[in-house]
């Protein structure tokens, strides 16, 4: 999924894929680590989904450091991923109020173990957003992204319906777990853009997934 540049390059999509403005290093000075943790926008049986906090930078950096996290991400998701990348990303989100959130477990609310968020569309796609997510490698295969994606999709279509009426994701070929999570949460595979992605000389297809609010409503009604 997605994109994200900067000076220096900052993480992308997972952090989902917001617009990627030029970041000035002076923004780092605006972080106030003494503020309390923001309350979650959502809780699930195992997760808290909350806005970022300046103190998230070290655990975010540790989670994003392995190349396995960035393998299926755009080049804008930096690798190696430094503490400064995390700090700049957090600062960008806090100062611009971007719709990107971190995931924590209930008993470790200060330790970032993943992220989920939106990159809003523009122009004739203003009613859409690209959804992005990641979890730290040690948590893979335990259903965390499926849990977060389902809850976050419900949240967007319930709480932000006046803004977004369609969510979509672009998944690199090979990222079977991400495709599976999207399908489990009701996203349809709408097509494959052949050879659309090239990263470090490796060309991959991009699998497009989408879910409209009306299809989400139909799905929810059929589950009642």
Ligand X SMILES: CC(C)(COP(=O)(O)OP(=O)(O)OC[C@H]1O[C@@H](n2cnc3c(N)ncnc32)[C@H](O)[C@@H]1OP(=O)(O)O)[C@@H](O)C(=O)NCCC(=O)NCCS
CA–CA distance from 7 to each of 4, 23, 33, 45, 73 (Å)? Answer: 11, 6, 23, 38, 18
According to the binding rule CB under 6 A, does residue 176 interact with ligand X? yes
Q: Residue ranges of the alpha helices (H) in 115-192? A: 144-159, 176-184
- Cβ at position 34, least distance to ligand X in Å: 31
The span of 15-23, 82-90, 133-141, 150-158 binding ligand X (CB under 6 A) equals: 133-141
> 73 to 132, contacts with ligand X by CB under 6 A?
none
Angle at 99 between CA 191 and CA 9, to 5 degrees: 80
Number of residues interacting with ligand X: please give it, by CB under 6 A: 23
Query: Contacting ligand X (CB under 6 A), which of 28, 42, 105, 177?
Result: 177
> 3 to 32, contacts with ligand X by CB under 6 A?
14
Site string for ligand X, 43-72 (x = CB under 6 A): --------------------------x--x
- Cβ at position 137, least distance to ligand X in Å: 7
Place of tokens 């991959």: 204
Residue 161 and residue 188: Cα distance in Å, rounded? 19
How many other CB atoms are there within 10 angstroms of residue 155's CB atom?
15
Q: Residue ranges of the alpha helices (H) in 33-164? A: 57-64, 67-70, 83-96, 144-159
Angle at 169 between CA 165 and CA 173, to 5 degrees: 160
- Cβ at position 105, least distance to ligand X in Å: 13
According to the binding rule CB under 6 A, does residue 145 interact with ligand X? yes
Query: Contacting ligand X (CB under 6 A), which of 27, 82, 146, 212?
Result: 146
The binding site for ligand X (CB under 6 A) comprises 1, 14, 69, 72, 133-135, 140-146, 169, 171, 175-178, 180-181, 184
């Amino acid at each position: 999924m997605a994109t994200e540049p900067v000076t220096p390059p900052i993480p992308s999509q997972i952090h989902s894929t917001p617009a990627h403005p030029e970041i000035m290093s002076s923004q780092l000075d605006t972080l106030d680590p003494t503020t309390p943790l923001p309350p979650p926008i959502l809780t699930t049986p195992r997760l808290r989904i909350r806005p970022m906090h300046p103190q998230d930078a070290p655990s975010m950096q540790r989670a994003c450091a392995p190349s396995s996290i960035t393998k299926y991400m755009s080049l804008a998701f930096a690798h190696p991923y430094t503490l400064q990348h995390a700090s700049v990303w957090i600062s960008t989100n806090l100062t611009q109020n971007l719709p990107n959130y971190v995931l924590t477990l209930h008993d470790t609310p200060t330790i970032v173990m993943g992220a989920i968020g939106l990159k809003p569309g523009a122009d004739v796609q203003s009613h859409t957003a690209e959804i992005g997510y990641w979890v730290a490698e040690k948590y893979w295969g335990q259903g965390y992204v499926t849990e977060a994606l389902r809850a976050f999709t419900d949240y967007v279509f319930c709480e932000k319906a006046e803004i977004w009426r369609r969510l979509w994701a672009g998944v690199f070929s090979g990222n079977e777990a991400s495709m599976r999570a999207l399908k489990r949460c009701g996203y349809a595979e709408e097509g494959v853009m052949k050879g659309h992605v090239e990263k470090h000389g490796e060309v991959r297809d991009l699998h497009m997934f989408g879910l409209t609010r009306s299809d989400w409503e139909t799905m929810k009604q059929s589950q009642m």
